[in-house]
């Protein structure tokens, strides 16, 4: 167990460099299984979710090793098509392995990754799509078994633009003989980057307008080197830290064009934002203004930034309204923020946040990755000392968040609570 101890009241200032994207690296790692030749992922973030995915790939017979911040994966020797039951539960992205295993071998067995704190996280859209590709799917005793080579020549409509289902079906369809078209696919930048990666490997995929992706059949992938795109959620977290402390921070490497909805909302809160080739710079207001936003699939406001901006709203002048439309249980930090003096009410998928002049430091507990980040941001602005327990959950999505914030002037330190 780990705890972060934060003394609030320090305006952040300076520069920080964004790492490679967690939600970019994970599908690329899975796609290495489809390619079956040496793949090098540059600028790969050292996160516990990435390490766990690496263990899953090793468990399937792949070679996985770090060379600096490059992750090298060679799935040439992959043999077993069944992930051990004990392995996959911890992270959702184990489900991403269904598509590549089917695309390459025509068989896959993945333990049900199950839900997590933010929601039930079903896989029905993944499985419906795989069945449409002619795959036989058996569910039972805690795992999913799939058999058959993906057959193309179909058009698959997604009821919801699920990121994971889109990525899984793209990778499965790469192994089909005939073309496949996905209708209503996810439009996240990480999906586009996966398509760039697969095209560079020798497959043929393209978007046809904003609501269709065509995956050419009969492709074969070759080994390649690819740079993981910058993490727009890590970048957004640093920018919101500047906003909540009234500071001024440049996030080097951040790509403003991937963050438009978030930046628009932060401007409405009174932040001054400059996007350049170098990155994105934010100057926070003395006190944020009230805002209203709803989380939506990309290019809408990202659900992975909802908790962090929720924390900003607790200090706004006026009453803010936040609607979480993507996950059914993503307001966990509210109870912890109330312990710090926040005035927020949750009604189903909507939160009403009456801004207060100041938060006070308290002992709080991180329940999920982005909710934990929200508590850290609140601690940066609170009067006094905040202790964030269960802080190890942050390492799932941030490479040493405390060190990065300390480098920007925060008073923050980590204490290991291991028994
Ligand atoms: C990806 O999760 C991200 N994870 C999530 O980031 C992110 O919040 C989410 O996309 C939305 O942007 C990775 O990329 C590893 P979805 P994913 O399928 O693919 C429902 C973080 O903090 N749904 O787009 O699981 C689902 O329950 C994580 O970095 C079904 O109903 O998200 C949710 O309500 C959290 N059936 C909605 O769709 C399905 O078969 C969006 O889920 C699949 C999804």
For residue 186, give the ligand 1 atom closest to its CA: 24
Where a domain ends, among 182, 203, 227? 227
Residue of the nearest CA to atom 25 in ligand 1?
164
Cα separation values, 394 from 46, 115, 323, 376, 399, Å: 12, 18, 24, 10, 8
Q: Determine the 3-state secondary structure of 314 from DSSP.
A: coil
Q: Do residues 208 and 348 both lie within one domain?
A: no
- Please provide the distance, in angstroms rounded to a whole number, between the alpha carbons at the two ends of the chain: 8
pLDDT at 313: 98
CA distance 282 to 212: 35
CA distance 166 to 346: 31
pLDDT at 354: 98
Where a domain ends, among 195, 227, 259? 227
Rounded to an integer, the average pLDDT of 195-199 is 98
Confidence of residue 353 (pLDDT cuts 50, 70, 90): very high
Residue of the nearest CA to atom 10 in ligand 1?
163
Model pTM score:
0.97
Structural contact between residues 31 and 53, judged by C-beta atoms closer than 8 angstroms: no
pLDDT in tens, 2-31: 999 999 999 999 999 999 999 999 999 999
Q: Do residues 196 and 315 both lie within one domain?
A: no
Q: Do residues 86 and 13 both lie within one domain?
A: no
pLDDT in tens, 202-217: 999 999 998 999 999 9
Q: Percentage of the chain surpassing pLDDT 70?
A: 97
Q: Do residues 312 and 374 both lie within one domain?
A: yes
Q: What's the domain count of the chain? A: 2
* Ligand 1 centre distance from Cα of residue 118 (Å): 10
Tell me, what CATH number does 181's domain have? 3.65.10.10
Rounded to an integer, the average pLDDT of 256-275 is 98
* Ligand 1 centre distance from Cα of residue 313 (Å): 24
Confidence of residue 240 (pLDDT cuts 50, 70, 90): very high
- Has residue 94 got a pLDDT over 80? no
Q: Do residues 91 and 6 both lie within one domain?
A: no
Residue of the nearest CA to atom 31 in ligand 1?
122
pLDDT at 93: 73
Residue of the nearest CA to atom 22 in ligand 1?
304
pLDDT at 418: 67
Q: Determine the 3-state secondary structure of 116 from DSSP.
A: strand
Q: Do residues 151 and 238 both lie within one domain?
A: no
Mean pLDDT score of the chain, rounded to an integer? 95
pLDDT at 100: 96
- Has residue 262 got a pLDDT over 90? yes
Q: 339 is in which domain, residue-wise?
A: 2-19+230-416
For the residues of 123-188, what is the DSSP string, one character each?
-HHHHHHHHHTT-EEEEETTEEEEESPPP-SEEEE-SS--HHHHHHHHHHHTT-SS-EEEES----
Residue of the nearest CA to atom 1 in ligand 1?
163
- Which segment of 91-100, 251-260, 309-318 scores lowest on mean pLDDT? 91-100
Rounded to an integer, the average pLDDT of 184-200 is 98
- Has residue 272 got a pLDDT over 60? yes
pLDDT at 80: 65
Q: Do residues 279 and 373 both lie within one domain?
A: yes
Q: Do residues 222 and 237 both lie within one domain?
A: no
pLDDT in tens, 367-417: 999 999 999 999 999 999 999 999 999 999 999 999 999 999 999 999 987
Confidence of residue 135 (pLDDT cuts 50, 70, 90): very high
- Has residue 218 got a pLDDT over 60? yes
For residue 126, give the ligand 1 atom closest to its CA: 40
* Ligand 1 centre distance from Cα of residue 92 (Å): 9
pLDDT in tens, 70-84: 999 999 999 767 776
Catalytic residue among 62, 72, 116, 344: 116
Residue 285's nearest CA partner among 294, 296, 293, 273 is: 273
- Has residue 358 got a pLDDT over 60? yes
pLDDT in tens, 276-285: 999 999 999 9
Q: Do residues 163 and 49 both lie within one domain?
A: yes
For residue 125, give the ligand 1 atom closest to its CA: 40
Confidence of residue 114 (pLDDT cuts 50, 70, 90): low
* Ligand 1 centre distance from Cα of residue 105 (Å): 26
Take residue 322 and report the two structure tokens written for it: 């936040």
Q: Do residues 271 and 378 both lie within one domain?
A: yes
Where a domain ends, among 173, 200, 227? 227
Q: Do residues 120 and 143 both lie within one domain?
A: yes
Which of 326, 371, 372 has most ligand 1 atoms within 8 Å of CB, for mutation?
A: 326
Please indicate whether residue 146 is annotated as part of the active site: no
Q: Do residues 198 and 273 both lie within one domain?
A: no
pLDDT at 89: 59
- Which residues fall within 8 angstroms of residue 320, CB to CB, at 6 or more apart? 290, 291, 292, 313, 352, 353, 355
Confidence of residue 1 (pLDDT cuts 50, 70, 90): confident
């Amino acid at each position: 167990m780990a705890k972060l101890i934060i003394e609030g009241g320090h305006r952040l200032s300076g520069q920080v460099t964004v790492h490679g994207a967690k939600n970019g690296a994970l599908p690329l790692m899975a796609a290495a299984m489809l390619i079956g030749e040496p793949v090098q992922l540059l600028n790969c973030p050292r996160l516990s979710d990435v390490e766990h995915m690496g263990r899953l790939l090793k468990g399937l017979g792949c070679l996985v090793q770090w060379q600096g911040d490059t992750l090298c994966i060679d799935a040439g020797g992959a043999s077993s098509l069944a992930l051990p039951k004990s392995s996959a539960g911890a992270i959702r992205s184990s489900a991403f392995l269904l598509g590549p295993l089917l695309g390459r071998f025509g068989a896959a067995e993945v333990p049900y990754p199950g839900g997590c704190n933010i929601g039930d996280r079903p896989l029905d859209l993944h499985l419906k799509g795989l069945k449409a590709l002619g795959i036989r799917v058996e569910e039972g005793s805690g795992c999913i078994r799939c058999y058959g080579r993906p057959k193309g020549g179909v058009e698959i409509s997604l009821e919801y633009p699920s990121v994971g289902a889109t990525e899984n079906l793209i990778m499965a369809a790469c192994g089909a003989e005939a073309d496949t078209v996905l209708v209503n696919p996810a439009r996240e930048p990480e999906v586009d980057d996966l398509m760039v990666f697969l095209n560079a490997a020798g497959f043929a995929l393209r978007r046809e307008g904003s609501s269709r992706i065509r995956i050419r059949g009969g492709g074969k992938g070759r080994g390649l080197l690819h740079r993981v795109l910058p993490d727009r959620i890590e970048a957004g977290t640093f920018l919101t830290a500047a906003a909540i402390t009234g500071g001024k921070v440049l996030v080097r490497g951040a790509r403003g064009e991937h963050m438009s909805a978030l930046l628009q909302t932060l401007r409405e809160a009174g932040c001054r934002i400059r996007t350049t080739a170098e990155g994105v710079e934010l100057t926070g207001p003395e006190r944020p203004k009230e805002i209203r936003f709803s989380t939506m699939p990309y290019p809408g406001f990202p659900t992975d930034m909802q908790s962090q901006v929720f924390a900003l709203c607790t200090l706004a002048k006026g009453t803010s309204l936040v609607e979480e439309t993507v996950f059914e249980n993503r307001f966990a930090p509210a109870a912890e923020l109330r312990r710090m003096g926040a005035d927020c009410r949750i009604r189903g998928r909507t939160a009403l946040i009456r801004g207060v002049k100041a938060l006070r430091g308290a002992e709080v507990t991180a329940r999920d990755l982005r909710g934990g980040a929200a508590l850290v941001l609140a601690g940066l602005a609170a009067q006094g000392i905040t202790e964030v327990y269960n802080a190890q959950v942050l390492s799932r999505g941030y490479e040493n968040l405390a060190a990065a914030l300390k480098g920007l002037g925060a008073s923050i330190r980590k204490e290991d609570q291991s028994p």
